[in-house]
Copies of this chain bind each other. A is one copy, B any other.
Amino acid sequence: MHIMHVHIRIKPEHVEAFKAATIENGVNSLKEPGVARFDFIQQADDPTRFMLLEVYRHADDVPKHRAAAHYNKWVATVSDMFAEERTRSFYTNVFPPDQDW
């Protein structure tokens, strides 16, 4: 699997709006055939810090996601909410095996 972790810090006044917009993006992203998971989590000791854990079946499912209307709506909605530039890290699964994601 092609796994992308996105680290995000949001301006405090936008935390609730960011959560709402990102839940909507998550619901729609999971409808993409190439998206096995779209987890959205909030750091326990700092509610302005979030992670997206995006699990794609193949690397070429990422540009398909970026072309989707829901992704572009999300970017337009949240781009002014970031407190700093978001960062990304990339991983492959060791366990579970591909069919269990």
Task: Tell me the A residues contacting B by CB distance below 8 Å.
Answer: 3, 19, 22-23, 26-27, 38-45, 50-51, 53, 89-96
Contacts and interface: CB of A to CB of B under 8 A. Distances in A.
Copies of this chain present in the complex amount to 2
B96 A43 contact: no
B95 A40 contact: yes
A90 B53 contact: no
19 contacts: A19-B94, A22-B94, A22-B95, A23-B94, A26-B96, A27-B95, A38-B95, A39-B93, A39-B96, A40-B93, A41-B91, A41-B93, A42-B91, A42-B92, A43-B89, A43-B90, A43-B91, A44-B91, A44-B92
Contact of A23 (B42, B89, B95): B95
